[in-house]
Structure 1
Amino acid sequence: MKFTRNDPTNQRIERITNHHIIVGIDIAKDVHAAQITDFRGRMLTSRHLSFTNTKEGFEKLFHWFRETSAKHNKSSFLVGMEPTGHYWHNLADWLLEQGIEVVLVNPVTTHRNKENRDNSPSKNDPKDALVIADVVSRGYYTDYSPQQPVFQCIKAMMSTREYWSGQSTSLGNRIVRWIDLYFPEFRSVFQEWNGIRSLATLKAFALPDDLRDLNAEEVMEGWRNQGMRRVAGVSGKAKAVELLNAAAHSIGKSHTNDAARQEILRLILFYEQTQRTLDEMQQELESLLEQVPLTEQLRSIDGLGTITIACLLGCAGDLRHYAHGRQLLRRAGLNLAERTSGKHKGQVKLSKRGDSMLRKYLYMGILNLVKQNADFKKWHVQNQMRGMTKMASIFKLMGKLARILIGMVQRGETYRSQLHDVIAA
């Protein structure tokens, strides 16, 4: 499939005609600033407009550029803005409801074009609004078209899940720190600190001193009191004896036992609450994914998990709108960038100009596929046999996955393993 990057850029430029006014808006939390130019970049107003982030402010903006368009005999509007944080969403959606075209400008583009008019690095809101209008007139923008509600819900859920996942990791790190300080031998008894038995131990016998006067039966009774169902047995008793031996020879801090005990109990309480929240969100995501027809196609790739699929649909939106896998890679910032000048040839790197969460889960998704999917495992081995490093192979497979995903969606097909075809033959 041919995919020429310059074609969309030319189309964006040709879309703007002499009948357009271009409104550049610098987004802020409370008060936005706007400037108006024509398609040649000529200012059509003597000064900028400041308006509040309220319905009254939006209506003030609307009447302002309607009056300007009538004064200069213009009939079409194109409003450009930077997607700054979350402050732009309400304004962009309101303008779309009024039938106004909205486009987005990358903040990096604004930053690098701010000296075009005055050859000065100075920065202020009216100037930024004018720069945004300038770059829109030159076609350096992307269209803003809100996704269907189900895709927006998935995106919001994934964003919230990222926060709680970070909280879980932070709490886990603090618990590990606590164990290293007060009961370092604990991790030689339990390989995983967050297993059922290990968490029950931390809640029932947080410190080595809590275990020194007990026997194996009393330890197992403590586990039972914490809600463990399978406590006894040979392995359970052996683990209790191992724990008692570790506590008897512990070198952990013992001068602040009361404070340390309260600290670990609070940390575990918050950690378990966070895990329950993540479990609930997992179920909600699965319920949302059932409403998207593309989900079954994506799940046909063995090893592509629920969270990866949710991130793909939430961050990238409806994959049917993509013409080529390279568009998905660019959306994630996984397209290549090279800096060369004269005889100097710079190193080729990832641009990382895209959705960081999409980039993260594409990477994690490939790691799972290399472990669980026979095809990706085979391709990973072949890449290394050809001299690629493991990391280079992973990134090459990310490109392959993007092309597979878009190809499947465009043709309405499910994934068919190459190894399955070989075995069938």
Structure 2
Amino acid sequence: MKITTCSMDLAKEVFQFHGVNASGKVEMRCQLRRGKVMRFFSNMPPCLVGMEACGSAHYWARQLQSLGHTVKLIAPQFVKPYVKTNKHDAADAEAICEAVQRPNMRFVPIKTIEQQAIIAVHTARSGFVKQRTAQANQIRGLLAEFGLVVPKGLAVLRERVPALLDEAKDELPGIFRQTILELLDHLKVLDRRVNEFELEILKWHRSNPMSKRLEKIPGIGPITASALVAAIGNARNFANGRQLAAWIGLVPKQHSTGGRTNLLGISKRGDTYLRTLLIHGARAVIQHAVKKDPSKSGWLHSLLGRRHKNVAAVALANKNARTVWALLAHDREFRADYAAA
């Protein structure tokens, strides 16, 4: 019998393959070197191929789809329950093959090259932002060792540090002053890198109509909008807005039993980067709303009157995620005066 379902445990050089026929009987177990993978699948009749959604998974999914195979990606946490023995490549491949055949299994949408490209820009920018923050904290910590305290904020750091060094030049060793100045130069380099990546993101955002549509939502700017469009892809892969919010990790965890519902804090599953952007955007909206008349009616003002700002920020981020799904899935434009029927 021919192989109808197979799986591949991804690696850097040696890939583990597991194939079964229509009745579920194992037809083949083997290891493939990286250079032989495409030749192996090109000689195989089209079948269902399962892989874990890990590094290089989207690349291999596109390559195998070009050969006529049906590829499905599974989150690693959904594969783990099917591992029957100790963990090794053969057991992992067998577990993936078993999981991909389950009728109720949830799969990860395969990203296009364009999606992965803009996500790479976001990842690079995020890395430089972390380095910039670490560099600023290092400068602030070194100055504090000599009794020079600088408030938080990059702009304050750039403005006050040179002046502080000039004021205390008689008390500070020359080698220390030179070190701080070199660290400030490095901070400027990191700042320039971040700005360059933000310009690339803005350029992509302006050329993408879906990203421009999401920018109209309060709390979502070009960076958040472009990241959402690139990560979500086809919004119709989600049945509703709540599924998208749950995928980002903005819905409560449950610990319910015996018909008694017990909701905990947000699950924090899914994409941490998207969740961070949405919550930071919601905080900006709340900060702007607080400055207005607090007696003004509206969903957000009513929520702020009952809950802490942090809770309101997560709630607003959840609402924005659902709005994003509605705009993308139904090809609509955002309306600030929209009211549900």
TM-score normalised by L of structure 2: 0.85
**Equivalent residue for 1:290, pick from 164, 188, 206:** 206
| Aligned match of 2:51 | 81
Asked whether 1:110 is paired with 2:79, we answer yes
Structure 1 residues 112 and 53: CA distance shift in structure 2, 3 A: same
| CA shift for structure 1 position 355 | 1.6
Q: 1:28 pairs with 5, 11, 19, which one?
A: 11
* Alpha-carbon distance, 1:344 to partner: 7.9
Deviations 1:11-59 (A, max 9, x none): xxxxxxx9871111111222110101235543122xx2111223x3331
Residues in 1 aligned to 2:50 and 2:314: alpha-carbon distance in whole angstroms: 34
Residue of 194, 214, 224 corresponding to 2:154: 194
For residue 348 of structure 1, give the secondary structure of its aligned residue in structure 2: strand
Task: State whether residues 40 and 137 of structure 1, in contact with CA within 8 Å, keep that contact through their aligned partners in structure 2.
Answer: no
Instruction: Report percent identity of matched pairs.
Output: 22
Following the alignment from structure 2 to structure 1, what is the Cα–Cα distance between the partners of residues 331 and 69? 33
Cα displacement string for residues 194-218 of structure 1 (whole angstroms, at most 9, x for unaligned residues)? 337x5365347636541x5xxxxxx
Alpha-carbon spacing, 1:260–1:108, altered in 2? closer, same or farther (3 Å): same
Distance 1:193 1:300, change over 3 A: closer
Indicate the larger mover: 298-307 or 354-363: 298-307
Aligned to 2:224: 308
Instruction: Please say which of residues 173-182 and 326-335 is displaced more in the overlay.
Output: 326-335
Which residue is equivalent to 1:382? Answer: 302
Correspondence for 1:50 among 31, 35, 55: 31
Query: Which position in structure 1 is the counterpart of 2:185?
Result: 269
Cα deviation, residue 92, structure 1: 2.1
d(CA) in 1 for partners of 2:311, 2:164: 47
For each residue in 1:145-195, what CA deviation from the matched residue of structure 2 results, as whole angstroms up to 9, or x when unmatched? 33362x33321211111111111111111011112112425x3xxx55633
* 8 Å contact kept, 2:212–2:222: no
SS in 2 for 1:182: coil
Displacement after TM superposition at 1:363 (Å) = 1.4
In structure 2, relative to structure 1, the CA distance for the partners of 1:110 and 1:61 (3 Å cut) is: same
SS at match of 2:47: strand
Distance change in 2, residues 1:389/1:57 (3 Å): same
Is the alpha carbon distance of 1:302 and 1:358 closer, same or farther for their aligned partners in structure 2, counting shifts above 3 Å? closer
Task: Provide, for residues 215-263 of structure 1, a one-character-per-residue CA deviation record: whole Å limited to 9, x for no partner.
Answer: xxxxxxxxxxxxxxxxxxxxxxxxxxxxxxxx8xxxxxx5xx2442232
One-letter amino acid of the counterpart of residue 300, structure 2: H
Query: How many pairs are equivalent?
Result: 334
What secondary structure does 1:32 align onto? Answer: strand
- Alignment match of 2:334 (pick from 389, 410, 415): 415
Residue aligned with 1:415, SS: coil
Q: Report if aligned partners of 1:380, 1:394 keep a CA contact under 8 Å in 2.
A: no
1:21-420 matched pairs, under 5 angstroms: 21-45=4-28, 48-54=29-35, 56-63=36-43, 66=44, 76-84=46-54, 86-115=55-84, 120=85, 122-139=86-103, 140-142=105-107, 144-147=109-112, 149=114, 151-185=115-149, 187=150, 191=151, 194-195=154-155, 199=158, 202-203=161-162, 206=165, 208-210=167-169, 212=170, 254=172, 257-319=173-235, 322-342=238-258, 347-372=263-288, 378-385=298-305, 387-418=306-337
State the alpha-carbon separation in 1 of the partners of residues 299 and 227 from structure 2. 24
Question: How far apart, in 1, do the equivalents of 2:94 and 2:153 lie?
Answer: 56
Residues 52 and 58, structure 1, Cα contact 8 Å, conserved in 2: no
User: Structure 2 counterpart of 1:146, which letter?
Assistant: K
CA–CA separation in structure 2 for the residues paired with 1:133 and 1:158: 33
Contact 2:3 2:27 (8 Å CA) reproduced: no
Helix, strand or coil for the counterpart of 1:49?
strand
CA contact (8 A) 1:25 1:35 kept: yes
Bigger Cα Rg: 1
Deviation at 1:322, TM superposition (A): 4.8
The Cα shift of 1:143 comes to 5.2
Deviation at 1:126, TM superposition (A): 0.4
Structure 1 Cα separation of the partners of residues 160 and 288 of structure 2: 33
Structure 1's unaligned 5+ residue stretches are: 1-17, 67-74, 213-246, 248-253
**Matched residues in 2 for 1:158 and 1:39: separation?**
42
Indicate how the Cα distance of structure 1 residues 345 and 411 shifts in structure 2: closer, same or farther if over 3 A, else same: closer
CA distance in 1, matches of 2:218, 2:106: 37
Deviation at 1:388, TM superposition (A): 3.3
1:233 aligns with none
Q: Secondary structure at the match of 1:364?
A: helix
Q: Which amino acid aligns with 2:74?
A: V
Unaligned runs of 5+ in 2: none
- Give the conservation status (yes or no) of the 8 Å contact 1:102–1:144: no
Residues 108-144 of structure 1: CA distance to partner in whole angstroms, max 9, x if unpaired?
12222212xxxx4x11100110000001111324154
Whether the 8 Å CA contact 1:37–1:44 is kept in 2: the answer is: yes
CA distance in 1, matches of 2:59, 2:259: 49
Aligned-pair Cα RMSD in Å: 3.2
Query: Which amino acid in 1 is paired with 2:324?
Result: L
